[in-house]
Copies of this chain bind each other. A is one copy, B any other.
Amino acid sequence: MSSGEDDLIARYFKPLATDPGALGLTDDAALLKGGGDDLVVTTDAIVEGVHFLGNDPPDTVAKKALRVNLSDLAAKGATPAGFVLTLALRTADENWLALFARGLGDDAAAFACPLLGGDTVSTPGPQMISITAFGRVPKGRMVGRTGARPGDRILVTGTIGDAALGLGLLTGGEVAGALASDPAARDFLVSRYRVPQPRNSFAEAVRDHATAAMDVSDGLAGDLAKMMRAGGTSAVVDADKIPLSPAARAALAAEPSLFDRLVTGGDDYEILAAIPPERLDAFLAASTKAGVATTAIGTVTKGTALPLFRRAGEERRYERGSYRHF
């Protein structure tokens, strides 16, 4: 790291390194104190032009980079413990960095997930932010992907498809046409793309009740297929029950062909969980307590077929359950 990079780190990131384990960002390493808990580790990168757009506000880019990782921790039932950041920058644009660091710091505080360390490198190519985040769970209690059993109910938090529509709005095309006359809906959908709402308040409920869980990042259909495959199961989904926001409903009413994009488009960062029937009431009560809307959308079934989506009397299995943006 050159001394120019040291200066940038001292100016913009050291104020965020409030945790003692960060050692004030003056060391090559950070420290996570030992304890009885297991440590959950997740890493996700976002790339300019792929996961965010070059003209996205820097503070929302920072928030998205952290939140996609927080979302993984929530789905595993883990409490955030901190993160390290790799920032690949074309130039050291101080305005961009100041806004980026502010967004990152706000979220690190809001989610109690402090910056512990990182690396800043220069790149001639698109900017990239890679974050590795840490969470704690009581020993042996991380929620995996493999534990769903036939008969478990399938639940999802929040609403599905908003971010895919938001990206569609930012890149033009039929979504923009469908919502041409509804600026409030447009703003909502774009904000869902730019700033995910990870369900960390819900982590304990997932840990206490789910047999399997993951966050929906690559499309509901594809991610459900992954979770079912991991457990050697299949699923039936009542697709009319998939929770949609008013904005997504409006877009769908204007352009019915958008439905597939809603369930395959990704960037939802909601939690998909399998819950045994006898725990459903307790899970829903915990959901209410956490202030997170949760909707039952289907049931785990035997077999290894792709999940079956039933909608308005038609049946569909998504061979390609994850939309590819590029």
Contact = CB atoms under 8 A, between A and B. Distances in A.
Contact of A119 (B2, B43, B78): B43
B123 A50 contact: yes
A50 B121 contact: yes
A261 interface: no
Given A117-B43, A121-B47, A121-B50, A146 B30 contact: no
A191 interface: no
B144 A43 contact: no
Contacts of A32: 38-41
A132 interface: yes
Copies of this protein in the complex? 2
Interface string A271-308: 00000000000000000000000000000000000000
Interface residues of A, number: 70
A51 interface: yes
Nearest to A41: B30
A80 interface: no
B142 A29 contact: yes
Interface in A58-116: 72-73, 75-76, 78, 84-86, 88, 116
A31 B26 contact: no
Interface string A125-149: 1101010101100010010111000
Interface in A36-50: 36-47, 49-50
A234 interface: no
A173 interface: no
A314 interface: no
B26 A42 contact: no
A144 B32 CA distance: 14
A3 B34 contact: no
Nearest to A30: B41
A218 interface: yes
A35 interface: yes
Contacts of A43: 84-86, 117-119, 132
A39 B50 contact: no
Contact of A50 (B122, B215, B226): B122
A37 B38 contact: no
A168 B33 CA distance: 42
Contacts of A252: none
Given A2-B324, A122-B326, 9 more contacts: A26-B230, A28-B75, A29-B72, A33-B139, A34-B34, A41-B132, A45-B130, A51-B121, A124-B126
19 contacts: A3-B320, A3-B322, A26-B146, A28-B75, A28-B145, A29-B41, A29-B42, A30-B42, A31-B41, A31-B142, A34-B139, A43-B86, A43-B118, A43-B132, A47-B123, A49-B124, A86-B86, A123-B128, A125-B126
Interface of A: 1-3, 6, 23, 26-47, 49-51, 72-73, 75-76, 78, 84-86, 88, 116-119, 121-126, 128, 130, 132, 134-135, 139, 142, 144-146, 214-215, 217-218, 222, 226, 230, 320, 322, 324, 326
